[in-house]
Amino acid sequence: MPIRTNRGRAAVYRRLWGWPLRSPRHLVTTIVGVVVLVTTISVVIPNAIKPRPGGGAAGTTSTATTGSGGGNQVGVLPTVTSTPLPTKAPSPTAAPTSAPVNVNAQLRADMWVDAFSRFEPGKTTKEQWLAGLEEHTSDEMFPRLQSVDPANVPAVVDEAVKPIKSFTDSAEFEAKLEDGRLIVTVAKLPEGWVVTDWTKVG
C-alpha cells in the first residue's frame, strides 16, 4: 500500500539513510557503491559526448581531403613527373644553301653602294645622304648609319658591285674603294631584299 503521510515517508527515509551506519560492513558497502557509481558516470558521459567516427568535423576533413580534384590522399606520396634528360646533343644548325645570285639582291646592293658613296661636302647634307640609304637598309642597321659622318666615307672607284657569296636568302657583294674594299650583306626579309650589314676592309 502506498505511503500517504509525511510521518510514514520520514520513517522510510530514516531507514535508508541509517542503513549504512548500522554496521561497519554496511558503511564499507555503501562507500564502494558510491565509488563505482562515480567511476561509471565519469566514463560513460565523455564517451557519449565524443563525435562518432565518420561524422561531423571528421567527415568534413575526409571529404575535403579526398574530394578535391587531383589532391593528395593522406598517406599517399605525391607523384613527381620528371623530364628525361636528352640522350644526345642537338643537331647543329644546317649551313646556308648556296644558290645563284638573286636579281633583286644584286639590284639592292647596287643602289645601296651608289647612295652610300653619293655625298658631296657643301652640296649634300647628312639628312639627304641618310634619306637615300633608308629605303635600301634594314630597320635594325639604319641607326648604325646615323652615327656615321658621311664626309669620312671613302669614294667608290669602281661602280661594278660584284657578288662574292650567294645563298637562297642572303648574299655578299664587294665594291672597290680608294683605300680598300666595301663588303655589303643583303638579306631577304619580309619586306624584301635589303642591306643588313656593311664592312670596310683594308
Span 59-76, mean pLDDT? 47
**Predicted local distance difference test score (pLDDT) of residue 37:** 83
Three-state DSSP class for residue 182: strand
SS3 81: coil
Lowest mean pLDDT: which of 10-19, 57-66, 177-186? 57-66
Predicted confidence at residue 147, as pLDDT, reads: 92
DSSP 70: T
What is the distance between the alpha carbons of residues 114 and 138, in angstroms, rounded to a whole number? 16
pLDDT band per the 50, 70, 90 thresholds, residue 6: low
Domains and CATH numbers, the chain: 103-201 (3.10.450.50)
Question: Sheet containing 192-201: which strands, arranged edge to edge?
Answer: 162-166, 170-177, 180-189, 192-201
Angle between helical axes of 103-117 and 126-134 (0-180°, round to 10): 180
DSSP bridge pairs for 186: 171, 195
pTM: 0.53
Q: Which residue has the cell 555503501?
A: 30
